[in-house]
Structure 1
Amino acid sequence: MKRIAIVGGGIAGLTAAYELAKLVQAGNPVEAILFESTHHLGGIVETVREGGFILECGPDAWVTEKPWARTLVEELGLAEEIIPSNDATRKTYVLIDGHLQAMPDGMRMMVPTDLAALDTSNLFSPEAKQSFHNEITRAGELKSSAPQQDESVATFVHRHFGDEVLEKIGAPLLSGVFGGDVTKLSVRAVMAPFVAMEREHGSLIAAARARAATNSKPAAIFTTLRSGLGTLIDHLIAAIPTNWIRLGDTVQYLSREDDCWLIGTGKEIERFDAVMMAAPVDVARALIEPIAPQAADLMSMEASSAVVVGFGFANATSLSLPLGFGFLVPPGSNNLLLAATFMDQKFADRVPPGGRILRAFFGGAAANRLMRCGNDEIAAIARLELARILGPLPEPQVTVVRRWPNSLPQYAVGHLERMAELDERVSSLKGLWLLGNGYRGVGLPDLIRDARAAAQSAAT
């Protein structure tokens, strides 16, 4: 029987264990042991359900156009749980000079498809609007001058649209997803579709319009589960043999010996035929360094922390929010927030009648400072920062605070090349797979796709 160790019980580790359990049911002679250092499975995917509120503590959805999360959800018998985002009323706002300005309709990240809507927007200056219009006429130049090597997101966006668009939309959008500095983030790693659009059309606006013209009824941008993403975690756990899961068991030692792997915890050292490393990048790097220092060097990357605060307000009809999904806070806005989401407007069935949910996000230096505060202080700061933008807030019935230290690895310029080299070095070790958000994507679909493929490979 093949023994496989899974280090880390987040979405990647659980998906790998689920896939291996399926192979066992199909007759494959496999046993897996999942080591999780805490007493909680699911990592940052967690749902709090209280008083009729459904509050997500980490991600609240997945990107619909990536199919791998939906496929897994349907396999687990949760098809009836799947709900789309309320895109008919989708708007995103940007905090400008203390006021929320709506992003124009038809925006795909920082790329407009509707220039008429852009022209009537109060978000951009006349100069920035003109730079959008000019981008279309510069299509040939942009296509011919597209660099052959990787570059930063900041350089890429600046080449197409200039500094104002980068500062108002590009930086806060990418910081919210990757927690990174746009002057360091790799455009090929975090905006690959836009790089492909530039290669084909030169103009990103022309490319986005061409795509919109062929997509008469686009799917909702986001998808989630009616009862929260924690339901996905619950069903994964239920599908994994209970004797495979070891909570509160920290892997302290990893080595390769005589065609097998040795894993040591505080209790014992065990032999395995393969190891699926689904721990956070910094933890994985520390375990791998004694065996493969060059691979560990390639795993060295900056990571930012996040603090999430969710408020459930009962009978909150007096809390008037602008129609839409939430707002972004550009750097230098004199506000500690990175973003906020109006959850009951983004998805249906999040609140009891008359209720509202606000989620506040802190990142970067603000998150690092808040990480040292108590929950009550963090919640008070979040309410204060939200109230400065939205006006007075009622007393919440439910408050959830989560700290996620070093949870967002930064894909720096050259990331794809480093990962290709890392893959080569790891494959030479035989029987080791790296999973998680530090390598090939940060969203749930990416992590699920990689984990399932790795499990299939590890079991053969």
Structure 2
Amino acid sequence: MKRVAIVGGGVAGLAAAYELARQARNGASLQVVLFEASTRLGGIIETVHEGEFVIECGPDAWVTEKPWARELAEELGLGAEVMPSNDATRKTYVLVDKKLQAMPDGMRMMVPVDLDSLGASELFSAGAKLAYHEELGRAEELRAEAPDEDESVAEFVRRHFGQEVLTKIGAPLLSGVFGGDVTKLSVQAVMAPFVAMEREHGSLIAALQARDAGVKKHSVFTTLRSGMGTLVDRMIATIPEDWIRLAAEVRFVSYGDEGWLVGTARGVERFDAVMMAAPIDVACSLLEPVDAEMAPLMAMEASSAVVVAFGFPDAAKFPVPPGFGFLVPPGSDSLLLAATFVDQKFEDRVPQGGRLVRAFFGCKAAERLMRCGNDETAAVARMELARILGPLPEPQVTVVRRWPRSLPQYAVGHLERMKRLDARASVLDGLSLLGNGYRGVGVPDLIRDARVAARRIVGKSESLTGVAEL
């Protein structure tokens, strides 16, 4: 019987345990222990239900074009729960000169597909619009000069569209996802599809126009009607209870002739394999005594996040612009990173006639709010929202969550470091590195990696849809 330790009960650790449990039911001889330091599973995925409000404390959806979260939801019997975002009314705003300016329709990240819509936009200056149009004519030049080596997101966007586009859209979009500095973020790691487009087409606009021609459009985001927490709950329900240990902080791991040893306050246990799904800071400290050369490869900057959600019973008393929400470029006179108009982004998130708004803080603002109590944090969020949207009525529901160092920053050279890290890890028989510090930060990426690793442990070669993208 193969003994497997899973260190960390976030979505990656749970997906690994789910897959191992599935393999065990199919006859694999396994004994598994999932160690979670806190008293709950799911990591930053958490859904609060209060007064008919469905409030996400972490990610509120996944990117539709990545299939692995949807596949898992359907396996778990949640197919009827799968729900698209309201893309017919999708509109995102950017705070410019203390006013919300709408992004042009048909944008993919910072790349427009519809240049006519771009022309009607008030977000960009004439110079930025010209830069967009000229990018189409520079296709051969851009393709010929596409670098083989990695570069920052900032350098990549500037080469195609210039500084204004980077400042107004590129920086807030990428900061919202990765909480990082676009002058440091690796374009090959965080915008790989766009790098591939450049190498094939040169012009990103031309590439997207060719890709979208005649293709049925899907919603950008997908979620579960009862909330992302349902995905966690369903996975937990499939995992044998005696596999799960809460409030079980792993204090050390070691590797030798006898295999893996995992130590907690309860004692030391031997395992044949370790699936390290703890936050990368924790994983780094646990694995450094095992292989000192891994630690520098795992060391990376990470950003904290603070989420504050307000539920209002009467949307008429708090009007917001139509659309999904707004982004705040770095350097703006606001502590906010972004805000989401949740009741307009998804159906069934509020009681009849209600309104739900989530405020996001990242980087330095989040670090400051980490030291504040819930009441003070909520007061800051209300003040910052009011400065942009106007006075807020008294909320019926307020939810505050802090996620310290939850967003690892994939710096330039990240993919090369991960290759070297994987090479080191492969020498340690039975070690898997899972979580958002390695090969993607989205929920689908974490699920894909965890399930592939679990199948590898039990010697199964069957793959998931799109696993070739690993």
Paired with 2:179 and 2:213, the residues of 1 have a C-alpha distance of 32
State the AA in 2 paired with 1:81: E
**Equivalence for 2:457:** 458
Deviates more, 1:134-143 or 1:313-322: 313-322
Is residue 2:219 matched to residue 1:220? yes
For residues 336 and 280 of structure 1, what CA distance do their matches in structure 2 show? Answer: 26
User: Offset at 1:316?
Assistant: 2.5
**Which residue in 2 is equivalent to 1:275?**
274
Alignment of 1:250-399 (within 5 A): 250-399=249-398
The match for 1:232 is 231
Partner-residue secondary structure (3-state), 2:213: helix
C-alpha distance in structure 2 between counterparts of 1:212 and 1:92, whole Å: 20
Further displaced range: 69-78 or 204-213: 204-213
1:15-414 equivalences in 2 (<5 Å) = 15-215=15-215, 217-414=216-413
CA RMSD of aligned residues (A): 0.6
Instruction: Give the SS at the match of 1:174.
Output: helix
Q: Whole-Å Cα distance in 1 between the matches of residues 286 and 409 of structure 2? A: 20
Scaled by the length of structure 1, what TM-score is found?
0.99
Amino acid in the other structure paired with 2:448: R
After superposition, give the CA deviation of every residue in 1:175-196 in whole Å (9 maximum; x if it has no partner): 0001110000000000000001
Q: Secondary structure at the match of 1:293?
A: coil
Matching residue of 1:419: 418
Partner secondary structure for residue 60 of structure 2: coil
For 1:404, give the aligned amino acid. Answer: W
**Superposed CA offset, 1:62-117 (max 9, x none):** 00000000000000000000000000000000000010000001111100011111
C-alpha deviation, 1:320, in angstroms: 1.0
What is the distance in 1 between the residues matched to 2:244 and 2:269?
15
SS in 2 for 1:451: helix
Counterpart AA for 1:99: K
CA contact (8 A) 1:340 1:361 kept: yes
Gaps spanning 5+ residues in structure 1: where? none
Task: Name the CA distance, whole Å, in 2 between partners of 1:257 and 1:269.
Answer: 14
- Paired residues in the alignment total 459
Question: Retained in 2: the 8 A contact 1:316–1:394?
Answer: no
Deviations 1:113-163 (A, max 9, x none): 111111111000011111001111111110101111000000000000000
Residue type of the alignment partner of 2:452:
A
In percent, how many aligned pairs have the same letter? 70
Counterpart of 2:4?
4
In structure 1, give the amino acid aligned to 2:106: G
Q: Which amino acid aligns with 1:34?
A: L
The secondary structure found in structure 2 opposite 1:214 is coil
SS class of match (1:95): strand
Asked if the contact 1:65/1:221 (under 8 Å) is kept, the reply is yes
Counterpart code for 2:435? G
TM-score by length of 2: 0.97
Whole-angstrom CA distance in 2 between matches of 1:253 and 1:288:
8
SS at match of 1:437: coil
Task: State the Cα distance separating 1:214 from its structure 2 match.
Answer: 3.3
Aligned amino acid, residue 410 of structure 2: Y
Q: Matched residue of 2:174: which SS?
A: helix
Q: Deviations over 1:238-280 (max 9, x none)?
A: 0000000000000001001214100000120000000000000
SS at match of 1:362: strand
The answer for unaligned runs of 5 or more in structure 2 is 460-470
Q: Give the whole-Å Cα distance in 1 for the aligned partners of 2:291 and 2:103.
A: 47
Corresponding residue SS for 1:386: helix
Point out 4+ residue stretches in structure 1 off by more than 4 angstroms: none
Cα separation, 1, equivalents of 2:370 and 2:305:
8
